[in-house]
Amino acid sequence: MYATNYHRASSVADALRLKGASDEAKYVSGGMTLIPTMKQRLAAPSDLVDLRHIAEMKGITVSGGRVRIGAGTTHAEVAQSAEIKAACPALAHLASLIGDPQVRHMGTIGGSIANNDPAADYPSAMLALAATIVTDRREIAADDFFTGLFETALQDDEIVVAVTFAPPERAGYSKFPNPASRYAMTGVFVAKGPGGVRVGVTGAGANGVFRHAAMEAALTGNFSAQALSGVTTDPSELLSDIHGSAEYRANLVNVMARRAVAAA
Amino acid sequence: MGVEGIGARVARKEDKRFLTGKGRYTDDMVVPGMKYAAFVRSPHAHARIRGIDSSAAEGMPGVIGVLNGKQMLDDGIGNLICGWMIHSKDGSPMKMGAWRPIAHDTVRYVGDAVAVVVADSVGEARDAAEAVVVDYEELPAVTDAVMALEPARPQLHPEAAGNLIYDWALGTGEAETDAAIAAAAHVTEMTIVNNRLAPNAMEPRAALGVYDAADDHYTCYTTSQNPHVARLVMSAFYNVAPENKLRVIAPDVGGGFGSKIFIYPEEIVCLWASKRTGVPVKWTSDRTEAFLTDAHGRDHHSTVKMAFDADNRITALKVDTIANFGAYMSLFSSAVPTYLYATLLSGQYDIPAIHANVRAVYTNTAPVDAYRGAGRPEATFLLERTMETAARELGISPAELRRKNFIRSFPHQTPVIMNYDAGDYEASLEAAMREADWAGFGARKAEAERRGKKRGIGMSCYIEACGIAPSAAVGSLGAGVGLWESAEVRVNAVGTIEVLTGSHSHGQGHETTFAQLVADRFGVPIDSVSIVHGDTDKVQMGMGTYGSRSGAVGMSAIVKALDKVEAKAKKIAAHLMEADEGDIVIENGEAKVAGTDKTVPWFQVALAAYTAHNLPAGMEPGLKEGAFYDPSNFTFPAGCYICEVEVDPETGKTGIVQFVAADDFGNIINPMIVEGQVHGGIAQGIGQALLEGVHYDPQTGQLLTASYMDYAMPRAHDLPSFKVSHQNTPCPNNPLGIKGCGEAGAIGSPPALINAITDAIGNNDLTMPATPQKVWAAVNAAQ
């Protein structure tokens, strides 16, 4: 790891000030991606601004027909939350599948979506739940937020403060983990909510998380696994690596989608 | 059997310090003035070094020195060596290319060292290493051994034309074998690939070199399975220092699996750099460095023909193997696909004709050497996959085909050198099938079918050769060292006992099992027995731990030393009690005159030896004896493993629903530790069969599996609870009747698992690791 300066931000405003003080500063939340990357000397921020101790970014609330999860909420907190289990059990299930217990107690929902790893679990749920990403300066629809591999609509110093969504009528998540990393080789989140049926796919897309239009269309009239039997997934838009070819991932998208619907 | 003696499930004495984080490993060692090394490593798989500019690095903060391979050459540091001479079938010696600890003209794999920085801190050393500018002329690379043998491929070493190190044969003549195959009623032919593995010891390699100018003496702390061999090789071949000026200490070592047998460049560099810079130099590998530079295992490509007569008896076996050696010949690399592989190709079967041909090949990859099982897993996988396939082709049950061909009388001379001394293969087969409820499989398969799962069952009957090895025999086969072991038993004046052994412990539990031997012999508590190992200043000489040899060879040496101590103690006790020496028995911590109530406590016998006030006439004071034990034969652990799987046909994911191991290790000192060894071995075997595989990019030679993000290790939830049992035909050739247990799990399990998966999916075309993607493709191909 290269030498770096650590700062603990006490508020969102404090974090913005600390970040602005250096050209090469980076925010760190759970650090589950950034710290290993720094250890491998593949990232060299001059300063780290720690967002984990900002009270306004913590906590889970359900009110006015919206679920609000503070960006600093850990995966373990989401997985164990009675509010989330009541409002959207599929999301609690998704959180329980991330990494291992150590990762789940360090990693945060804000960090996960801001990083937008193409194999991360949360982005698929954000898309499928038509979530809103609340930042320090605006609200961004999930559809506009995830823009490519490790790319988001966030400006350089913009901080994700929370995510909000309307509890779905039904939702399910099914994940096939990569045998090595246990990240999603394919994860499919399906949700039937106020805005209709939405299907978010992670781990498989060549450009990162995506919505599966054909599946959404098929499920709109008939929200059942059988409705997906005729739906195909185009391998040409999918990732291919030593763990799984695009054709294999296309199959996994179909299988995981059916299982997610069955679980919803 | 006492509560702490032979056969007792004694909890491991060493676990208290390991489990409480108090183990002391090489990286924990701190000496005054210690500095840190970082290596500049080749980013190219094959390149010529045009020049190295270290001027910027030398000026960076904390940097003490930047050293290169040319300086090492000028200082007379020798090439790394391979210590086992193999002659090709044309009589020519193996073609060994030069391996420099730091490359100075050509790099041959990604990770090859080209310079080393010594600095005040690890961070500063690494920063400076990045600032060393190496001017490379890139050369084309080849990573696949089969391709490397083809014409017009990149050539690695001028010494080895066509990248061929040796072309070696063993066994029955080729013409005779071919004739038997031609006359057969049935021939099963297969192509078998044994996948390349990264060893992944939990503790990465590390070294601390300390040069003491006052005494012109070197100390090397290192992660070694055999510190004495390290000293011997570093002294005799690398010219680091004469043996009396070089102390090698291998303290607690966190796993080896073979990868820490070999002498690597880094420990030599740390010693040399310590003298050159005047400061102690420590290096600790990070995980990616470990993936790049630890010697890999396996990587065989073979074709096999197995011939049967009309009665389904094997009449001949012909094997042609290409072994990938990587860029350089590591210390024992040459022996692995020859005398540790082809010699085991008879398996548990009576095969009248076996011809094996092995070609060893250079490629632009990390060196390949022994990894848990070393040659025997490759032989077992080839043989047991072929047996399973033959059974399917012949339409008889896999158990029946094996039974028909089992060796049933001992000793048995195979056509491939080995003379099996004892075994009962039927016993292990029966035990395993009973434990696995083989007969009930059909009902379980039908039940799984109703849940949409494909269920399969597979077996593997393995044999291995352990207790390596008779020195004269291996010497005649090309070994550069003898493979005996030494022991010294020191009884202190108050009766406590120290056992000095050349068998290094790096997870095997020697501090417990070796102490049990002593406790058993004298009836003293094992807490009064200390096992001393891993330091060339304490233990005079030893050959180390590998090849499941610590029990059969290391403990046999202790037995010999104990015999001498016991004999002298009896003489002393007889003298003290005015009894006949032949009437003395030592048990429960005292010496007794048989048939009387006369006793002398053990500590008084010891004290008498050291006060020397009242010893038999002419007896030397003291109670300390040493012994060297050289085995008369290999030992032959064998067993039967059965694996049952369920495959999800939609995803190709394999779940292991049952795993049964029935092993014959001969007599057992500590069943708990033996079971632990079997569990660990099976976990690694399942890792090979299901998950693990080293991938290089075939064009660039870049390592694609250089972290745990891409190299899949077995995790607890990948594994079922293992059902382990033991059968026992004692080894007739060592005093304890033990055979060795350290590698069996890794040897026996991969074919059982692949046989089970191929049984489940109805497609025999499946390579390791059987990843979900491959299994899914095989399921689809079968439909």
Please, are residues A33 and A55 in contact by the beta-carbon 8 Å criterion? no
Q: In this model, does residue A145 exceed pLDDT 90? A: yes
Shared-domain flag, residues B662 and B550? no
Residues of B in contact with A242 (CB under 8 A): 695, 704-705, 710
Domain ranges of chain A: 5-50, 58-263
CATH architecture of A58-263: 2-Layer Sandwich (3.30)
pLDDT surpasses 50 at A99 = yes
- Pair B726, B663: CB distance under 8 Å: yes
DSSP, collapsed to helix, strand or coil, labels residue B676 as helix
Query: Of all helices (H) and strands (E), which one includes residue B487?
Result: strand B485-491
Classify residue B563: in a domain, yes or no.
yes
For chain A, how big is the Rg over CA atoms in Å? 18
Are B708 and A242 within 8 A, CB to CB?
no
B773:A40 CB<8 A: no
| Burial of B395 (C-beta count, 10 Å sphere; 0-12/13-18/19+) | exposed
CB-nearest partner of A179 from B288, B691, B695: B691
Determine phi and psi for B396, rounding to 5 degrees: -125, 165
**Contact (CB, 8 A) for B678 and B725:** no
Mark yes or no for CB contact A251/B710 under 8 Å: no
Q: Running DSSP on this structure, what letter comes out for residue B683?
A: H
Nearest CA in chain A to B777: A248
Report if residue B339 sits inside a domain.
yes
Determine contact, residues B116/B110, Cβ cutoff 8 Å.
no
The DSSP secondary structure of B350-408, one letter per residue, reads --S-EEEEEEEEE-SS--B---TTTTHHHHHHHHHHHHHHHHHHHTS-HHHHHHHHB--
Contacts of B710 (CB under 8 A, 6+ apart): A180, A181, A242, A243, B695, B704
Q: What is the pLDDT of residues B313-365, one digit of tens each?
A: 999 999 999 999 999 999 999 999 999 999 999 999 999 999 999 999 999 99
Domain of B643, CATH number, reads 3.30.365.10
CATH fold of A5-50 reads 3.30.43
Q: What share of chain A is helix, strand, coil (3-state, %, to 5)?
A: 35, 25, 35
- Taking the CA of residue A254 and the nearest CA in chain B, the distance in Å comes to 10
Beta bridge partners of B282: B36, B208
Residue type, B594: A
B36 within 8 A of B286, measured Cβ to Cβ = no
pLDDT for A14: 98
Q: Is A41 on the interface with B (CB under 8 A)?
A: yes
Mutation target for A interface from B650, B713, B775: give the one with most A CBs within 10 A.
Answer: B650
Q: What is the DSSP string of B137-187?
A: EE------HHHHTSTT-----TTSGGGEEEEEEEES-HHHHHHHHHT-SEE
Q: Evaluate whether residue B167 is within a structural domain.
A: yes
Rounded CA gap, B773 and B177, in Å?
A: 38
Same domain, yes or no: B166 and B68: no
* Residues B617, B643 share a domain: no
Q: Are residues B523 and B610 in the same domain?
A: yes
Instruction: Give tens-digit pLDDT for A31-88.
Output: 999 999 999 999 999 999 999 999 999 999 999 999 999 999 999 999 999 999 999 9
Domain C-terminal end among B571, B606, B629? B629
Backbone angles phi, psi at B512, to 5 degrees: -95, -55
Question: How far away is chain A from the Cα of B734, in angstroms, using its nearest Cα?
Answer: 43
- Cβ neighbors of B598 (< 8 A, separation 6 or more) are B577, B579, B592
Do residues A136 and A159 make contact, with C-beta atoms less than 8 angstroms apart? yes
In 3D space, the residue among A3, A37, A149, A177 whose CA is nearest the CA of residue B288 turns out to be A37
- Mark whether B701 and B625 lie in a shared domain: no
Co-location of B238 and B160 in the same domain = no
Q: Are A72 and A29 in contact (CB under 8 A)?
A: yes
Q: Which residue is it, tokens 């005047």? A: B278
Q: How far apart, in Å, do the first and last CA atoms of chain A sit? A: 43
3-state helix, strand, coil in chain B (%, to 5): 30, 25, 45
Whether A198 shows a pLDDT value over 70: the answer reads: yes
Do B610 and B505 belong together in one domain?
Answer: yes
**B59 CB contacts (<8 Å, ≥6 apart)?**
none
CB contact under 8 A, B650 and A2: no
Regarding whether B654 and B531 lie in a shared domain, the answer is no
Question: How far, in Å, CA of A72 to CA of A163, rounded?
Answer: 10
Residues B507 and B620 in one domain: yes
Question: Does residue A23 have a pLDDT over 90?
Answer: no
Distance CA B491, CA B606 (A): 7
Q: Give average pLDDT by consecutive 10-residue segment, chain B, 783 residues.
A: 85 95 97 98 98 98 98 96 97 98 98 98 97 98 98 97 98 98 98 98 98 97 97 94 96 96 97 98 97 98 98 98 98 97 98 98 98 97 98 98 98 97 98 98 98 98 94 92 95 97 93 96 95 96 91 96 98 97 96 96 97 97 97 96 98 98 97 97 98 97 97 95 97 95 97 98 98 98 90
Residues B422 and B308 sit within 8 Å (Cβ to Cβ): no
Q: Is B271 helix (H, G, I), strand (E, B) or coil?
A: helix
Distance CA B26, CA B251 (A): 6
User: Which pLDDT score is estimated for B51?
Assistant: 97
pTM above 0.90, yes or no: yes
Is residue B22 situated within a structural domain?
no
Closest chain A C-alpha to B360 CA, distance in angstroms: 27
Residue A1 has what pLDDT? Answer: 87
Strands B186-194 and B300-308 come out as antiparallel
Note whether B710 contacts A1, CB cutoff 8 Å: no
Dihedral sign for Cα atoms in the order B518, B482, B345, B411: negative
Q: Rounded to a whole number, what is the distance in Å from the CA of A232 to chain B's nearest CA?
A: 15
The string of pLDDT tens digits covering residues B171-207 is: 999 999 999 999 999 999 999 999 999 999 999 999 9
What ipTM was predicted for this assembly? 0.96
Q: Check whether residue B662 and residue B712 sit in a common domain.
A: yes
Amino acid in position A107: G
- The fraction of chain A above a pLDDT of 90, given in percent, is 97
Total domains in the fold of chain B: 4
Indicate if B131 and B267 belong to the same structural domain.
yes
Comparing CA positions, the residue from B578, B564, B568, B561 lying closest to residue B605 is: B568
DSSP letter, residue B506: S
Question: At B249, which CATH number?
Answer: 3.90.1170.50
Query: Rounded to a whole number, what is the largest CA-CA distance in chain A?
Result: 56
Q: Of B186, B126, B416, B427, which Cα lies nearest the Cα of B308?
A: B186
A-chain CB neighbours of B130 within 8 Å are 41
Interface test with A, best of B39, B651, B713, B768 (most A CBs within 10 A): B651
Residue A171 amino acid letter: A
Measured CA to CA, the distance from residue B657 to residue B719 in angstroms comes to: 9
Q: Which structural domain, as residue segments, surrounds residue B663?
A: 421-464+634-783
Using CA atoms in the order B662, B664, B665, B671, what is the torsion angle rounded to 10 degrees? 50
Give contacts of B650 with chain A, Cβ < 8 Å: 251, 255
Nearest to A177 by CA among B594, B66, B420, B717: B717
Is residue A195 predicted with pLDDT exceeding 90?
no
CA distances from A230 to B1, B373, B658, B733 (A): 68, 49, 36, 67
Whether residue B442 is found in the same domain as residue B568: no
Tell me how many residue pairs between chain A and chain B have CB atoms under 8 A apart.
48
Residue B168 lies in a domain: yes
CA distance B270 to B210: 8
What's the confidence (pLDDT) of residue B1? 46
Contacts of B770 in chain A (CB under 8 A): none
